[in-house]
Chain A
Amino acid sequence: MTGITFEGVSKRFGKVSAVEGLDLEIRQGEFVSILGPSGCGKTTLLRMLAVLQQPSEGRIWIDGSIVNDVPPSKRNIAMVFQTYALYPHMTVAGNIEYPLKKRRVGKAERAARVQKAATLLQLEDLLHRKPRELSGGQQQRVALGRALVRDPAAFLLDEPLSNLDAKLRAHMRAELIRLHRRLGCTMVYVTHDQLEAMTMSERIAVMRDGKLQQFASPQDIYERPVNDFVAGFIGTPAMNLIAGRLSGTAGDRVFESGPWALPIGELALMDESASGDAERRVRIGIRPEDIMLDDTGDAARVAVVEPAGHEVIVVFDYHGNDIVARMGADVRLRPDDVVKLKLRVDRLHLFAVSDGGRLNDDVAGGRNS
């Protein structure tokens, strides 16, 4: 068994629980993002992997052996810190060379490997500078160089792009993807930026309050969020969530919110038996791109129009709810216009109000219909 496995891992700080009962299996060579809002436990997870923190419970496996009690220096894991944590008193070459020195790599080989890393990251001209003489992007590359110089079993990256400006961030994102493809090693990437997670990862682990919410491919997470938190967290603008109640039986079910009744008979519930026929409180979720202008739809008043060049984001007042829709750039709307809107019922998401869990089965027909 290769890769990284978390088995029932918890971490508590006093009475505060940072990570709770985490089970996660990361495959060899996979690029996995740990995504969640601040304080969701994602950095703690990474630090446990790097053994900077010990789990309170559970086991962590790396490449088939339990590493709970293995000191960080004995695990072949490299980490890039959010602050880069470059050694200020060492040159760029010294920084990159440091992990090799600690592993008693011979001098000639050290020089060769530093040179190789520097070439890969275009740092050749900077090798004799001190970190404070470098720009943010250069410091970032040195931090990456220090991590990859020793061929680690896994790379841990703790929000490595968050200190860069927007343009450089987009550039480094592409660089990281390219780097991952070239090195083919496992990368665990912690971020609170869903765009980074969505664009770079093979799979995303969404966390909230120390608990894993969903671990799936970016597309799965976008199309089939397991609960209303994941649904609202992923996607910009966020998915519209409207509370109401469900009535009727399978086949002719209706979603009611105030005077508004939306027939959703075509949605299949995952557990028809448990739902019974009783009324239940639910939330429907609809992505902004699944709302269309349609003359057969219901009336909606335009509240806000946000042109973004290639698209227009419009906030409508629809049956007393604010809903956000993504329209083509050719749509010309002004505040207080009244139009007809239709929701694509086949793309609705249904969540229980009680625990936020997903109720309906896969999005009918899938994305490609």
Chain B
Amino acid sequence: MQTGHSIWRRILFNVFAWTVVLLISFPLLWMILTSLKPQSELFLIPPTILPSEITFEHYQRLLTETPFLTYLRNSLWLAAGTTAVVIVVAALGAHSLVRFSYPGRERLARLVLFTYLLPSVVLIIPLYLFMIRVGLVNTLASLIIAYTTFALPYALWLLRSFMAAIPVDLEAAALVDGASRMRAFIDVILPQALPGIISTALFTSILAWNEYLYALVLVNSDEVRPLTTGVMSILITSFNIEWSLLMAASVMMSVPLIVIFVFLQRFLTSGFGAGAVKG
């Protein structure tokens, strides 16, 4: 009786879970399938699920006839640059918020979180004007600065909970053993905070990789456009949408993220767990 009941529960649970998985993954599957279909098969009614003939011509066209590779390079630079800046600042900042005592420390931490609550649209005009004034408009640096403004608060809070979980004595031991403060941070704190740093880095790079609005406003030449706005500008015009190229581009945009995820997934889940427990 008991076992029969639990089997039904498991079956129901599995049916439900797989339905959700299918619903979520269908657009992705459709994207991959479409990118492999020949042009002639794109608009068939009824549509074919599996392509009758697999072709890589869209990928080839994308790489040879469009500035896709330039966009890809820009996006990689953006993700790497933003992540580097955010991780360095957030790791040091989080350590300071956890370990040092100074007046207004808690208030500062909350203020940082408050900036995160502002919708990014609100900041876009002031940031644009600021970039013009410092002469950074239309550069990758302007986007790195912009992305940092909204990735940093979250990163700071995530890392803060990680750092708080590291025993104070570890750092004290390193100091007594002859390390300087910075050395103790590098030798002892950073290795302990590594899972947190990796998940924060992952979060930041995904954010920078997928960002669209700021990229659209702050940057408008092909030389510095990232993938998100670049792909849109070449493949979607008022007259025509190059569906097969668009799908091929989308697949290629997803690949770097998927690769990173596969390698770092276990850190990411442990990161979310730690954040949750610490509150």
Once bound together, how far apart are the Cα atoms of A112 and B207, in whole Å? 50
By size class, the interface of chain A is 20 to 34
Contact of A98 among B172, B177, B180, B192 (CB under 8 A): B177
Q: How many A-B residue pairs have CB under 8 A?
A: 59
- Asked if A89 and B192 sit within 8 Å, CB to CB, the answer is yes
* A177 adjacent to chain B (CB < 8 Å): no
- Asked if B179 and A73 sit within 8 Å, CB to CB, the answer is yes
* B135 adjacent to chain A (CB < 8 Å): no
Q: List 21 A-B contacts (CB under 8 A).
A: A50-B175, A51-B175, A52-B172, A73-B175, A73-B177, A77-B176, A78-B177, A79-B172, A79-B176, A81-B169, A82-B169, A83-B167, A85-B172, A85-B173, A86-B173, A87-B173, A87-B187, A89-B192, A98-B187, A102-B177, A146-B173
* B191 adjacent to chain A (CB < 8 Å): yes
* A263 adjacent to chain B (CB < 8 Å): no
- Asked if B178 and A102 sit within 8 Å, CB to CB, the answer is yes
Given the known interface contacts A87-B188, A89-B192, the answer about A99 and B170 at a Cβ–Cβ threshold of 8 Å is no
Chain B residues packing against A (C-beta within 8 Å): 167, 169-170, 172-180, 183, 187-188, 191-192
Q: A50-B172, A73-B177, A99-B178 are in contact. List 10 more A-B contacts (CB 8 A).
A: A50-B176, A71-B175, A73-B180, A83-B167, A85-B170, A85-B172, A98-B177, A102-B178, A103-B178, A146-B173
Once bound together, how far apart are the Cα atoms of A85 and B192, in whole Å? 12
CB nearest neighbor in B for A72: B175
B188 partner residues in chain A, CB cutoff 8 A: 87
B192 partner residues in chain A, CB cutoff 8 A: 88-89
A81 partner residues in chain B, CB cutoff 8 A: 169, 172-173
Contact of A87 among B170, B172, B175, B176 (CB under 8 A): B170
- Asked if A85 and B169 sit within 8 Å, CB to CB, the answer is yes
B175 partner residues in chain A, CB cutoff 8 A: 50-52, 71-73
Q: Per-residue CB proximity of A4-33 to B under 8 Å, as 1/0?
A: 000000000000000000000000000000
Once bound together, how far apart are the Cα atoms of A52 and B147, in whole Å? 38
Using a CB-CB cutoff of 8 Å, which residues 83-138 of chain A contact chain B? 83, 85-89, 98-99, 102-103
- Asked if A83 and B191 sit within 8 Å, CB to CB, the answer is no
Once bound together, how far apart are the Cα atoms of A103 and B169, in whole Å? 20
B183 partner residues in chain A, CB cutoff 8 A: 102
A71 partner residues in chain B, CB cutoff 8 A: 175, 180
Once bound together, how far apart are the Cα atoms of A150 and B179, in whole Å? 14
Once bound together, how far apart are the Cα atoms of A50 and B175, in whole Å? 9
A85 partner residues in chain B, CB cutoff 8 A: 167, 169-170, 172-173
CB nearest neighbor in A for B166: A88
Give the interface centre of B167, B173, B174, B180 by most chain A CB atoms within 10 Å.
B173
CB nearest neighbor in A for B194: A89
Q: Per-residue CB proximity of A175-216 to B under 8 Å, as 1/0?
A: 000000000000000000000000000000000000000000
CB distance from A283 to the nearest CB of B (A): 40
Once bound together, how far apart are the Cα atoms of A86 and B191, in whole Å? 13
